[in-house]
Amino acid sequence: MPRPTKQQIDDEILEAAAHLFARHGFKETSVQRIADTVGYSKTGLLHRFPTKEALQTAVIDRCVEQIRDTGADVAALPAGPERDRVVLTGLAHLAVAQPGMVALLLSSMLAEPESEIGQALAVIGQTLATAFGDDLHTDTSRALRVTGALGAVAVASLALCDHLTTDAPARLAEIGYAALGH
């Protein structure tokens, strides 16, 4: 078996950290807990990410990057059903491939805006709104539907992660799309 690349190792660390940050919060997640989860020494992990704050920043940056990539796919589309479907399909693929990132996305929706985690994760919510082509602060009804759609995709993918098949992203996207009421 070939050795994992630097990128594969970093991806594994960031995915595990995202899951733990979403589940336990930034304060309650130690570098040692992340190292134990991925099977590396704390020293080895700190060699790649020198501080817990650097790791936190890298996780948030990765999550935002992935959502922006999804948003870039729809930049030319007007806000509406077609754009919503493409964004939800991209997020469903992310949910299956990287459930930790989607757990972090979900926790960004649940965090108190003034809390430490809420402030750190606010950029994720802003990036999601941009991907959907919305200003979710001005349309409460739309904000509720988008939140419900994201929640449906995230919760279903996390709760059933051990039972998902190759058609799961399409099915998850349809569930989210139905929640939007199109």
Q: Which domain holds residue 117?
A: 6-179
pLDDT at res. 159: 87
Tell me if 38 sits within 8 A of 102, measured CB to CB: no
Phi-psi region of 181 (alpha: psi -120 to 50; beta: other; left: phi over 0): left
Q: Which helix (H) or strand (E) holds 105?
A: helix 99-110
pTM, two decimals, is 0.85
Kindly report the CATH number assigned to the domain that includes residue 135: 1.10.357.10
pLDDT tens digit at each of 182 positions of the chain: 788 899 999 999 999 999 999 899 888 999 999 999 999 999 999 999 999 999 999 999 999 899 899 888 898 999 899 999 999 999 999 999 999 998 888 887 777 777 766 777 788 888 888 899 887 667 888 888 998 999 999 999 888 888 888 899 999 999 999 999 88
SS3 assignment, position 165:
coil
Tell me if 91 sits within 8 A of 176, measured CB to CB: yes
- Residue 144 falls inside a structural domain: yes
- Residue 127 falls inside a structural domain: yes
pLDDT at res. 20: 95
pLDDT at res. 137: 67
- Residue 29 falls inside a structural domain: yes
- Residue 1 falls inside a structural domain: no
- Residue 153 falls inside a structural domain: yes
Residue 63, phi then psi, degrees to nearest 5? -60, -45
Q: How many domains does the chain have?
A: 1
- Residue 118 falls inside a structural domain: yes
pLDDT at res. 119: 75
